[in-house]
Structure 1
Amino acid sequence: MKISVQTEPFDLGTEMAGFGTGREDVGAVVSFTGIVRDDTGAMDALELEHYPGMTERAIAKIVGEAIERWKLADVIVIHRHGRLGVGEQIMMVATAARHRVAAFEAAEFLMDYLKSRAPFWKKEHGPEGTSWVAAKDEDEDALKRW
């Protein structure tokens, strides 16, 4: 299991190299990479703040729940913080499980959690200044299925 909250970019190929391989109990690996997008057409950057230690503990707790619920063999969660430009990688989730359904569901569960419950505070920067990002109803609704 790897959990990292970092400012530095990550290399998806490096992170995924060998993930889940060499194990007889893994039949599926799923990965997802989130990219900073501009929904308004007026955002230059997204800034994420967090409390070191608290954020990692909160993510570790939900990863532990996913491991137990879907009997995962391994997990990677990387989430960046700081100022990120549009088009930059912001996070990744990878899950390894015996079966593909478990790997996919666990990855979606973790992504939904990271989007709406992980303790990050987001601020958009644009030509008109900065504004905090409010929670979105669709992100909250996504959690209801779990």
Structure 2
Amino acid sequence: MSHISTSWRGVAVIAVAALVVVGAIAWWLSRPEPGPADLGTRTVQAGAVEVTMTALTLDRSGAAFELKFDTHTVELALDPAASARLTVNGRQVEGASWDGQGPGGHHREGTLRFTTPVPAGAAIELRVTGFPQDAIGTWSAP
């Protein structure tokens, strides 16, 4: 009888180990793909306006940022493409485009894009002017 219970214990140990391995593989495969949030979000108070900047892309295709502007005291009339200054490794990049809500209101959001390639490891600074204080976010390109 002792021999039978020993072999069942061995089978049980192997079954538990197999379940742990299968569970670990399932967890690994179900992890979400790295997304925009992985590059980082910066939230800055620029006078009466809260500016949230999320880096979406910082690579050879250029730089893209999701921008959100929130306030309850001033009208958001600025042109984000004209007000944004991107610096890559100390050099200013030109040619921003804005795909988002137009001027007006107290809440705006959209995507700001620059097509100039961003090298890996580059020091990135995004500065949005036109508020009582500039909104500044910094990142390091992956």
TM-score range, shorter chain: 0.3 to 0.5
> Which one has more relative contact order, counting CA pairs under 8 Å at least 6 apart?
1
* Structure with the larger strand share: 2
Q: What TM-score, normalized by structure 1, do the two folds share?
A: 0.32
Look at both structures and tell me which one has the larger radius of gyration over its CA atoms: 2
